[in-house]
Amino acid sequence: MTTSDEVRWLSSGQLAAWRSFSLMLARLPAALEQQLQRDGGLNFVEYHVLAGLSDAPDRTMRMSGLAVLVNSELSRLSHLMRRLEKRGLVRREPDPCDGRFTNAILTDEGHAHLVRLAPDHVATVRKLVIDALDESRLASLRGCSEDILRAIDVCDAE
Amino acid sequence: MTTSDEVRWLSSGQLAAWRSFSLMLARLPAALEQQLQRDGGLNFVEYHVLAGLSDAPDRTMRMSGLAVLVNSELSRLSHLMRRLEKRGLVRREPDPCDGRFTNAILTDEGHAHLVRLAPDHVATVRKLVIDALDESRLASLRGCSEDILRAIDVCDAE
DNA sequence: CCTCATAAGTTGAAGATTCAACGAGTGGAG
DNA sequence: CTCCACTCGTTGAATCTTCAACTTATGAGG
């Protein structure tokens, strides 16, 4: 990748910003997961699997769609769904219309678990993010996130 | 944790901000790790272990100090150091002054590896974050990060 | 001294994720 | 119709992380 010999190191201000940001990048997910794990025995991805299914028509999604939604590889999702299935929170069945697809379905028990968990999760998100920032900061955080996501997409597309 | 019956759900603007932010929170670390993994066979924590040691006097730190620096548990660090040690990038020895401590030391080979890797890593951080944001956005991102870190600390302290 | 409490670090087992290989279903080209 | 390429999803092995139990070194208190 190093195409030029000159490295553009970071200025001290940039470095300070990067340090804070990258520390936050490590700590916030850990803090969110801690709450979900404690209150519901779920990690971040598992929670979003249940939440995604609960918003979908018939509480049903294809595995591949779900994988995109939760930003995870299909293999990881497959293992994860096996564990959730063993706990009775979801079930899987082949799509009757096209046998190549597998439908993931939220069970009643899974839905109940999610409903039980959601308020505390939202409260945590508020406490650590939404209410920790004033309104203009939050708007600007959204802008930063979108800029960074765009840069990642550009980079992925080479 | 649910102390009140009333849940303060997110407004649509807050929800949109949270969605972008949390997607970025998942994708950016993956993108950074991908580059480190591809170019140097290291993950994010491993890179920061080497980087931390390289900045320390005598390229030496105690395991417990290193664990705080890279925001990781001691057990994880111990396993990770065993792997890095097997690759010859670091070594460990008991602190001669106080046998309870273990000193982690960056080898010459480890240092060379880091030096080889750093320019590409910095270039990636630039491309995905620093140069993806204008100056005021970056400053504001730093502020957001600090606010969120503070909220996490408050929360950890109950 | 001796005992005990404490903190540092290691270890092994269990749990989760990644990686590569595989199997199964479908639609299209010949 | 048959073969082929393609995508979807699963699986097992290897890797990494988490958890709990354990070892060891030190310093404090009797």
Those residues of chain A that have pLDDT short of 50 are: 2
For the domain that residue B130 is a member of, what is the CATH number? 1.10.10.10
Q: Is the pLDDT of residue B2 over 70?
A: no
Chains A and B form CB pairs within 8 A to the count of: 170
- Asked if A7 lies within 8 A of B123 by C-beta distance, the reply is yes
Residues in chain B closer than 8 A to A16 (CB atoms) = 142
Note the pLDDT of residue A65. Answer: 97
Question: Is B88 a domain residue?
Answer: yes
Asked if A34 and A72 count as a contact pair (C-beta separation under 8 A), the reply is no
* Smallest CA–C1' separation from A82, nucleotide: D10
Question: Which residue matches tokens 């400053």?
Answer: B139
Three-state SS at A100: coil
Question: Is B9 a domain residue?
Answer: no
Question: Is B8 a domain residue?
Answer: no
Question: Is A19 a domain residue?
Answer: no
Three-state SS at A103: strand
A86 CB and strand D closer than 7 A: no
Give the bases of strand D that a protein CB approaches within 7 Å. 7-12, 16-21, 24-27
Question: Which residue matches tokens 């990636």?
Answer: B124
Note the pLDDT of residue B107. Answer: 98
Question: Is B64 a domain residue?
Answer: yes
Question: Hey, CA dihedral for A20, A132, B25, B65, is it positive or negative?
Answer: positive
- Quote the domain boundaries for residue B99: 24-156
Tens of pLDDT, residues B94-115: 999 999 999 999 999 999 999 9
CA pair distance B143, B131, nearest whole angstrom: 17
Question: Is A150 a domain residue?
Answer: yes
Angle ∠(A58,B16,A125) on CA atoms, nearest 5: 90
Note the pLDDT of residue A157. Answer: 78
pLDDT category at B157 given cuts 50, 70, 90 is confident
Count Cβ atoms below 10 Å from residue A24 Cβ, excluding itself. 21
Q: Which of B6, B29, B5, B103 is nearest to B63 (CA)?
A: B103
Residues in chain A closer than 8 A to B123 (CB atoms) = 1-2, 7-8
Question: Is A127 a domain residue?
Answer: yes
Report pTM: 0.92
Question: Minimal Cα–Cα distance from A147 to chain B, Å?
Answer: 6
3-state secondary structure B60-127: EEEHHHHHHHCCCCHHHHHHHHHHHHHCCCEEEEECCCCCCCEEEEECHHHHHHHHHHHHHHHHHHHH
Note the pLDDT of residue B13. Answer: 95
Nearest-by-CA chain A residue for B38:
A1
Question: Is A39 a domain residue?
Answer: yes
Q: In chain A, how many domains are there?
A: 1
Q: Which of B89, B87, B33 is nearest to B59 (CA)?
A: B89
Tens of pLDDT, residues A85-97: 999 999 999 999 9
User: Chain-centre distance of CA A68, in angstroms?
Assistant: 10
CA pair distance A23, A17, nearest whole angstrom: 10
